[in-house]
Structure 1
Amino acid sequence: MARALTIAFGTAALSAVVVPSAMAQQQPAADAPIQRVEITGSSIKRIAAEGALPVTVVNAAAIKASGVTSAADLVKRLVATQGGMGESGAVGGGSFGFSGISIHNVGETRTLVLLNGKRLALFGGQNLTGFAAGFDLNSIPLSAIERVEMLTDGASALYGADAIAGVVNFITKRNSTEGDVTIGFSNPADGAQEKRLSASKGFGSLDEDGFNVMMTFGHDERTKLKSGDRDFAKTGKVKFSANGKQYQKQQFSASPIPANATDDLGQLINPYQKKNGSCPTQTFRVTEPYNDGTGLVDDYCGYDFVGDLEIFPERKRDSFMSSLTAKLGSQEVFADVLLSRTSQVSRIAPVPGSISIDAGTPLHDKYLLPLGITQDSLAYYRLYDMGKRTSSDKADFVSIVGGIRGEVMGWDYNAAYNFSESKVKGSISGYPGARAVRALTGSGLLDPFVGPGQQSAAALEAIKGAAYSGYFDGGESKLQSLSVNGSRALAQLQGGSMMLGVGASVSRENFSSKPSLFSQGKLADPVKGTLCGGALLCDKRFGDAADALPYEAGRTSKGVFGELIMPVLKTLELGAALRLDDFSDFDSATTAKASFRWTPVPTVMVRGSVGNGFHAPTVPQVNALLQGYGVTSEKYKCTPELQAVATANNAICQSGNRQYDKLAGGNPELKAEKSKQATFGLRFEPMAALSMGADLWHVQIRDTFGQLTEDVVFANPAKYADSWGSKVDVGTGKNYLAFLADNKNLGNAYYTGVDIDITGRLKTGFGQLTSQLNVTHMLRERSQLLKDGEYYSAVGNFADLGTVTFRTQGRLVTTLKTGNWTNTLGLNFKSGYKDQATSVEVLDASGVVTGTEKIRMEVGYFSTWDWQTLWTPSKSWSISAGALNLFDRDPPFVPSTSGGNRGQQFGYDDRYYDSRGRTLYANASYKF
């Protein structure tokens, strides 16, 4: 922060030397009509100017200068946003490719996304824990965006009380006859290359022809990026230095090829390693204590699945948007239609799982009996010959808005019907049924103790025939609403007209979970689609005991609101808003906001607000049925404490260091979150060449809902006795202990920070120089994991909350415009943090493991530079070229692996750092 502030203040100081101190803002001509516009965060149309609430506006020119190619990448550049889900989280994360936005890391579900001021359906792939219960930014075509307005103060009276973190409003092009065709290409090294094409054209003049139609089409494609093409991500075995010592971290799976197996003491061994003296290809030797206090040691081979990952998925997107505006007498009718489709493919390592090897069977006698194993055993195996597990996700989004607006009897009004729908379909390949694999083993065809490609021809054919390929899971989310709002002047006060805004709305929200029969565990033969029942036993996905359950649920909400803007003096404006909401499945809510704007002198403005909010849990969080929900992200040992919990649940622990099944479901007893928000801001413009401001903000929430993180629960199993259950493994028939990640009201949360912006302008002999700095600095963040429990903080700290909130992050952009050339240099920076406590191996000077140690890495300050050159040789043509991450900085190394919304990548945290590296790009646009 200090580095960036020094640069920015230097630019501002230089501007102050050259430019006269008199305010040079242009005033409109005396006979020019005053245009009133709707500003995000208010229902009242007014003259566009700085208001009482902090609104950041990013226009089309700034979007183009940023070099970003999608709405998802754009919002990541807004320094007030952090903690949103990114596309790379789909790599083993089951996110269906969702990309979300979270203001100030308060949460995606508490950040309201609008399109032209209208609500949008939540993501159809949202799950029952509330994950991805936001709007998918992939549905917004960047080529159609005129500007983005971000309100960093929540609980807007116009849009609904659930906007606790704030509002992001995407405003599209309209009322233009201009045409534009743009092509572009982005080229990171070795993968994730993008090609894109967009076209837009407007027809008709609203003033001359009485109508305007604006249409925009966009298409882009991106290739995959493999982990092996990045040195920092290519393996799960990494040696590193920290705290003056040498360490080694091994991220692996206990299911390799050839398989590991349990011996008569329950220890994990590898028959191949016992016979040959070394572990097979793409594995490494793992030795670790068995149950603490027993003295037993697991000695087996861990599979390096990290080398199989595609760390950035391939993607295709298509979008079409059309906006119609037509005059109907003195009124306007309007209609907006958005259609978009995002297709994404992510691949991870071949499927792992466990297979029962009974004593006396040919496999047992051939491989295990010679090693002294006389009892039944479990083989932990990776079905490598079936190929990588592939998720092919398709998300379709539709938004249709129609209405009428205008002025009647002094009222500016807007009445509209809004329909939007998000459909998500997730298909898979590379997965068999657990019973199908068990049948393969029992038939003698499948041999889990041989290497890749060494099965018999008949076995390879049987493996191919057992592979399921097709639809697996998905969902649909719909939103329908009718709304009407209006505003007018009531009286003339000393500072101007007192304005009133009122409105009402009724909405219906529906969500349908649509798992396939295979996902539900209702098929005896997933490949053939044979239903189970009677003698035909049900099968589930090999290595994953999750069994989704279909359900449908919805809610109706009604709301009315009123808002007053009162310029009581020429220097003082007061505002007040009140909203009443009624939910069909929750209590009614009353929310309010008060605000002020004071300009004691023309160069200074002071503003502030205080309000409250109400956020009901999502429909799935309340109504979903208890079901299997995948596996833990981290592996855990069966300690004596964990064994005691397993015994209490009539279950058994996993052998060795293993992942555990998860259970989750809705909770009808959840209470709504209730919040209080406040902002206090100061803007100072001592001269036309210098503008600066700071907004202090605070959010506090009670009865927050979420789930206990797995690392917290596993660290103290007895303390969280109600966070456990059990799950029967279809492949082995054993009832294992399972982690219950159910929805809870966790307690209170507090967030406080300051948003800073400084802009300096300078006319030089080389052209117009502009430098802008935006910084968000977190002062406090504290959350409870249990009601009345202790508080934890994620500010600069990856520990108990499963996430990191960066203390400081910002962006400094300097632009030099010379004739028809514009050059832009950008600096992106964020402070460091303390990584999660992670168990690593200690190495001596010769690289030999001498023991294990739990460490917390210090992750340092991180910054990247961007560059762009824009050439506009004529009014019709513009060509830009540049580089993102100009100096090709790798993400900082982190040994931790768990954390919410995190993919399977290792060696860096994909939630906070981009694996694509330096990205060269070029765009060409032709306007007509």
Structure 2
Amino acid sequence: MFKRTKVSAAAVLALSGLGIGLGQAQAQVQLDRVEITGSSIKRIDAEGALPVQVFKREDIERTGATNTVDLLQRLPGIQGGTSEGTSVGGGGAGFAGVSIHNVGETRTLVLLNGRRLTQYGGQSLTGSAAAVDLNTIPIAAIDRVEILTDGASALYGSDAVAGVVNFITKKNSQEGDLTVGASIPQDGGAQEYRVSLTKGFGDVDKDGFNFLISASADKRTKLDGVDRDFSKSGVINFHHNGNRYQAFLGSPRAVPANVADNAGDLINPYFEANGSCAPGNVAVVANGKTACYFDFVRQLEIYPERERQNLMLTGAVKLGNHKLHADLVYSKTKNVGRIAPLAADILIEEGTALHTQYLVPLGITGDAFANWRGADLGKRTDINKSTFASAVVGLEGTLAGWDYKTGVFYSENKYKNDIAGYPGGLALRRELNRGVVDPFVQPGQQTQAGLDALNAIKFSGYWDGGDAKLSGVDLSVSKEIFNLPGGAAGFGAGVQAYNEKFAGKPSLFAQGKLADPVTGRECDPAAVFPSPDACDQRAGDEAAIVPYGADRNVVGVFAEMVLPVTKTLELTAGVRYDDYEKVGNTTNGKLSFRWNAAQGLLLRGSLGTGFKAPTVPQLNASPQPFGVTSAPYSCTTNPDLATVAAQLGVQCRPGNVQYDVIAGGNASLQPEKSEQGTLGIRFEPSTNLSFGADLWHVQVEDAIGQIAEEEAFAKPLVYNTWTSKRDNSTGITFLALNQGNVNLGKEFFTGIDFDIVGRTATPLGRLTTQLLATYMIREDRQLIPDGEYFSAIGNNSPSLGFVSFRWQGRLSALLETGNWKHSAAVNFKSGYKDAELDVELLGPGDTLTGQFATVQRNIGRYFTFDWQSQWNINKWLSVTGGILNVFDRDPPLSLSTSGLNKGQMFGYDDRYYDPRGRTFYANVSLKF
């Protein structure tokens, strides 16, 4: 299915799939020279010194992937990219990225037809999502995907530390294709419907021109967490080491609300009056007092609703030995993530009606905090809208014996985030003080006046956004310049110059400049509550977001040479100079070799260096509120956290709750510097069997990132990651986590990519099988310079907040018989140690015992099986049907509550496993 090759299908056939025995193949057939990802020199070699995986159109279709996001997530060498599930309370903003070998999506360079694209307009100031959004790449227009798994390309940029993913669109095609399809999970939810149309006109070689249009659209419905057993509740009973336990992930911000008594302990007035918690809440006892925690997991939509439309236009005109071409890509994506209603800490002031009615009978004096869930406001909703446009005008051909390619390129990604279900914090405080809104009643039991008040202050509309732009020019040339014993030496050189620009565009409400967010009335910065002119902010996670904008120019110059020293040994040397405005300049090189050691045996390797500059927001964004922590934390159970709060002169938040996060740019950030190398073997004992393995290594100095929240809260006195934030609703300054950009230290990554391909004729037809796998040998990261190393291989490390799978693989088989093609695939991931969690021991009948333990479960190996059949009825019409996850394997139980790029889901880890279950799909294609 996956061919490690570097040329067109014609070259693959001519060279028996691997290109061993090149001289004989060249003597038998004349091959066109083509440019391959990883080199600027046009060549006819089928297998080069650098490891490149090619995923062709037919391979894409056989995976059952309906978009580039799903496609790349099926590759064993891809780990650590942002998934769509992150949009469910994880701040993903609708973005989906790709990371090679878990080295990082910001270190993985994504190209379209060999050229850079702008980063995501919704990227965060910490660098999250500072990469190309895969939703913008139209899969219907893709002819093949080339993945260079060796980093720091001299051709494309020294910032490609992890490698390069190059999407190649259809060119010079006259084919017409109309495809309609649907994907339907067996258990409901996440239903997808799609249509695409592609048509080409003219042949560049025969007619002197070609024009191609490709348009596609798809729509997917939401998937509610309650529709799957593994995600339906924050209460999970499970077995571990012979005992029965209960894990619970809930929020003290409940409905009806909890309140802090005079001793600072949480109690629930509804529980005190009724002897039980209201539906949707779970009783939690601490210090002999009972609070009710809200089961917010039941409210989650674990697979976001999504709509996409893509359009690609490409044209080419032949001008003698030259070709003028233009490409235009336009895409729109809408992603809707919904989570539980507003969670807010509100101040119940002494003397108000609410205080008198509910708190005085409980002996609570003075102002008190109530932890409330605004159920009558409806779910909090993020509507993430992204518009992407890319245009390229280029000229290529041969001039004075030189192959050349030059072009002007521009791309832009505009991001817009609309929200719903949020009131202003001061507006809510006014209604509470008036006694109109009652936080101590169940959902649906507000008075009509209370409902009217909530509806009047509930905001829906534009919240935040961003605009990322990339514009530039490039020129590259190559030529065979002299002869060596092994053949002609090739020389290539080029220059790229581009401008990166980013602007953060928060609304006036997000900036904290409105007195009335609903009407848009601006505030008086000098006014204070209870003045109606005081500046209001969003309730629950107030954030005065600071708008900012910056840009920079980047110039890169490169050169490389291919030296066929002998008939069997070839050396390649490349060097690149980059100058990043306001960051600095750098020179990096790469050396590689390819040695045909014997008939059917190829050895290859490379060494190189890289350089990754901080993003524009990472350098320039002002410090500002950045949401809340993924998990709740408590000063009561963590004395060191209370010590930090006392040192800063601020308060801890009462109870076990989420904390505010502050983040910002850092003008003192140093660029990341890397070294990487590969060593590979290709062995083909016959034309029906081939084997390949590539050992790769990447090491990074001055890695840019943030201290994981779990590590910061576990060791609050170790890391200087603390600050304060004034709560707009209460006027109190609380402890907050500072997750601004810093240089953490060193990182090391080592692994092996394997592939084995076998081909044989059977009585039923030709059978092709392939095993692709990646084995992680080492992954070590420092969180502070010269500090301790942490590894996530086989371990959901709380210090890092994610998992690296020791093994990932895909075993596939394709049977071609007559007009039918049948394919099957097994996808597998190795097991790992889950995050630790405090759980309660259960007694007979699953009764709670009040005894707690800290457990860390072992998550086992995970396998899924896919099937597809394609019937080519005639040369015009084909029907494809398949099943993903044939045996309906649920994701394994995970007790992880937080982590890098994780949504709010509990019971399974949304970053690594698909929640849809057994999914049926079908496509009907009409060729014309």
1:379-406 CA-to-partner distances (Å, cap 9, x unmatched) read 1111111111111111000010001100
SS in structure 1 of the partner of residue 231 of structure 2: coil
Question: Is residue 2:671 matched to residue 1:672?
Answer: yes
Rounded to whole Å, the distance in 1 between the matches of 2:261 and 2:78 is: 51
Question: Is residue 2:350 matched to residue 1:352?
Answer: no
In the alignment, what sits opposite 2:476?
485
In the alignment, what sits opposite 1:106?
103
Question: Is residue 2:391 matched to residue 1:400?
Answer: yes
In the alignment, what sits opposite 2:740?
742
Give, in angstroms, the shift of residue 174 of structure 1.
Answer: 1.1
In the alignment, what sits opposite 1:416?
407
Rounded to whole Å, the distance in 1 between the matches of 2:444 and 2:97 is: 41
**Does the 8 A contact of 1:23 with 1:688 survive in 2?**
no
**Does the 8 A contact of 2:780 with 2:789 survive in 1?**
yes
In the alignment, what sits opposite 1:547?
544
Structure 2 residue corresponding to 1:196, chosen from 194, 197, 207: 194
In the alignment, what sits opposite 2:795?
797
TM-score by length of 1: 0.96
Give, in angstroms, the shift of residue 731 of structure 1.
Answer: 0.8
Structure 1 residue corresponding to 2:505, chosen from 481, 501, 514: 514
Write the mapping of 1:314-393 to structure 2, written as runs, cut at 5 A.
314-393=305-384
Give, in angstroms, the shift of residue 846 of structure 1.
Answer: 4.0
In the alignment, what sits opposite 1:868?
868
**Does the 8 A contact of 1:844 with 1:850 survive in 2?**
no
Which segments of 5 or more consecutive residues in structure 1 lack a partner in the other structure?
A: 1-18, 289-295
TM-score by length of 2: 0.96
In the alignment, what sits opposite 1:270?
268
**Does the 8 A contact of 1:23 with 1:686 survive in 2?**
no
Rounded to whole Å, the distance in 2 between the matches of 1:298 and 1:135 is: 50
Rounded to whole Å, the distance in 1 between the matches of 2:417 and 2:342 is: 17
In the alignment, what sits opposite 1:5?
none
**Does the 8 A contact of 2:349 with 2:433 survive in 1?**
no
Give, in angstroms, the shift of residue 242 of structure 1.
Answer: 0.9
In the alignment, what sits opposite 2:563?
566
Write the mapping of 1:217-228 to structure 2, written as runs, cut at 5 A.
217-228=215-226
Question: Is residue 2:84 matched to residue 1:87?
Answer: yes
Closer/same/farther in 2, CA of residues 23 and 390 from structure 1, 3 Å limit:
closer
In the alignment, what sits opposite 2:626?
629
1:134-168 CA-to-partner distances (Å, cap 9, x unmatched) read 11000001100000000000110110000000000
Structure 1 residue corresponding to 2:582, chosen from 577, 580, 585: 585
1:237-273 CA-to-partner distances (Å, cap 9, x unmatched) read 0111112221111111111111111111111000000
Greater mean deviation of Cα atoms: 241-250 or 483-492: 241-250
In the alignment, what sits opposite 1:12?
none
**Does the 8 A contact of 2:353 with 2:434 survive in 1?**
no
**Does the 8 A contact of 2:352 with 2:435 survive in 1?**
no
Write the mapping of 1:378-777 to structure 2, written as runs, cut at 5 A.
378-533=369-524, 534-535=526-527, 536-638=533-635, 639-720=638-719, 722-777=720-775
1:832-868 CA-to-partner distances (Å, cap 9, x unmatched) read 0011121111223343233221111111100100000
In the alignment, what sits opposite 1:778?
776
Rounded to whole Å, the distance in 2 between the matches of 1:844 and 1:745 is: 49
Write the mapping of 1:778-857 to structure 2, written as runs, cut at 5 A.
778-799=776-797, 800-847=799-846, 848-857=848-857
SS in structure 2 of the partner of residue 569 of structure 1: coil
**Does the 8 A contact of 1:39 with 1:48 survive in 2?**
no
Closer/same/farther in 2, CA of residues 24 and 627 from structure 1, 3 Å limit:
closer
Write the mapping of 1:64-83 to structure 2, written as runs, cut at 5 A.
64-83=61-80
Give, in angstroms, the shift of residue 719 of structure 1.
Answer: 1.5
**Does the 8 A contact of 1:757 with 1:772 survive in 2?**
yes
Rounded to whole Å, the distance in 1 between the matches of 2:31 and 2:853 is: 69
**Does the 8 A contact of 1:666 with 1:742 survive in 2?**
yes
Give, in angstroms, the shift of residue 31 of structure 1.
Answer: 8.0
Question: Is residue 2:43 matched to residue 1:46?
Answer: yes
Give, in angstroms, the shift of residue 24 of structure 1.
Answer: 10
Rounded to whole Å, the distance in 2 between the matches of 1:915 and 1:546 is: 32
1:150-192 CA-to-partner distances (Å, cap 9, x unmatched) read 0000110110000000000000001011100000000012100
SS in structure 2 of the partner of residue 593 of structure 1: strand
Rounded to whole Å, the distance in 1 between the matches of 2:511 and 2:289 is: 35
**Does the 8 A contact of 1:425 with 1:474 survive in 2?**
yes
1:676 maps to a residue whose letter is E
Give, in angstroms, the shift of residue 71 of structure 1.
Answer: 0.2
**Does the 8 A contact of 1:257 with 1:382 survive in 2?**
yes
In the alignment, what sits opposite 1:14?
none
Give, in angstroms, the shift of residue 461 of structure 1.
Answer: 1.0
Which segments of 5 or more consecutive residues in structure 2 lack a partner in the other structure?
A: 1-15, 528-532
Rounded to whole Å, the distance in 1 between the matches of 2:248 and 2:39 is: 53
**Does the 8 A contact of 2:625 with 2:660 survive in 1?**
yes
In the alignment, what sits opposite 1:883?
883
In the alignment, what sits opposite 1:291?
none
Give, in angstroms, the shift of residue 532 of structure 1.
Answer: 1.1
Write the mapping of 1:252-291 to structure 2, written as runs, cut at 5 A.
252-288=250-286
1:762 maps to a residue whose letter is T
Give, in angstroms, the shift of residue 235 of structure 1.
Answer: 0.3
In the alignment, what sits opposite 2:3?
none
**Does the 8 A contact of 1:298 with 1:656 survive in 2?**
no
**Does the 8 A contact of 1:797 with 1:804 survive in 2?**
yes
SS in structure 1 of the partner of residue 704 of structure 2: strand
Give, in angstroms, the shift of residue 729 of structure 1.
Answer: 0.8
SS in structure 1 of the partner of residue 584 of structure 2: coil
Give, in angstroms, the shift of residue 750 of structure 1.
Answer: 0.4
1:490 maps to a residue whose letter is I
SS in structure 2 of the partner of residue 123 of structure 1: coil
Rounded to whole Å, the distance in 2 between the matches of 1:845 and 1:26 is: 75
Write the mapping of 1:159-170 to structure 2, written as runs, cut at 5 A.
159-170=156-167
Give, in angstroms, the shift of residue 711 of structure 1.
Answer: 1.0
2:76 maps to a residue whose letter is V
Rounded to whole Å, the distance in 2 between the matches of 1:297 and 1:492 is: 87
2:424 maps to a residue whose letter is G
2:822 maps to a residue whose letter is N
SS in structure 2 of the partner of residue 797 of structure 1: coil
**Does the 8 A contact of 1:547 with 1:629 survive in 2?**
no
1:254 maps to a residue whose letter is P
SS in structure 1 of the partner of residue 55 of structure 2: strand
1:318-369 CA-to-partner distances (Å, cap 9, x unmatched) read 0000111101232110111000000111111111101111222211111111
**Does the 8 A contact of 1:23 with 1:687 survive in 2?**
no
Rounded to whole Å, the distance in 2 between the matches of 1:26 and 1:682 is: 19
Rounded to whole Å, the distance in 1 between the matches of 2:281 and 2:324 is: 65
Rounded to whole Å, the distance in 1 between the matches of 2:628 and 2:246 is: 25
**Does the 8 A contact of 1:25 with 1:688 survive in 2?**
no
Rounded to whole Å, the distance in 2 between the matches of 1:349 and 1:74 is: 31
Rounded to whole Å, the distance in 2 between the matches of 1:573 and 1:561 is: 20
Closer/same/farther in 2, CA of residues 54 and 30 from structure 1, 3 Å limit:
closer
Rounded to whole Å, the distance in 2 between the matches of 1:436 and 1:298 is: 32
**Does the 8 A contact of 2:702 with 2:743 survive in 1?**
yes
**Does the 8 A contact of 1:24 with 1:687 survive in 2?**
no
Identity of aligned residues (%): 52
2:471 maps to a residue whose letter is Q
Rounded to whole Å, the distance in 2 between the matches of 1:578 and 1:530 is: 57
Give, in angstroms, the shift of residue 299 of structure 1.
Answer: 2.1
Rounded to whole Å, the distance in 1 between the matches of 2:462 and 2:351 is: 39
In the alignment, what sits opposite 2:919?
919
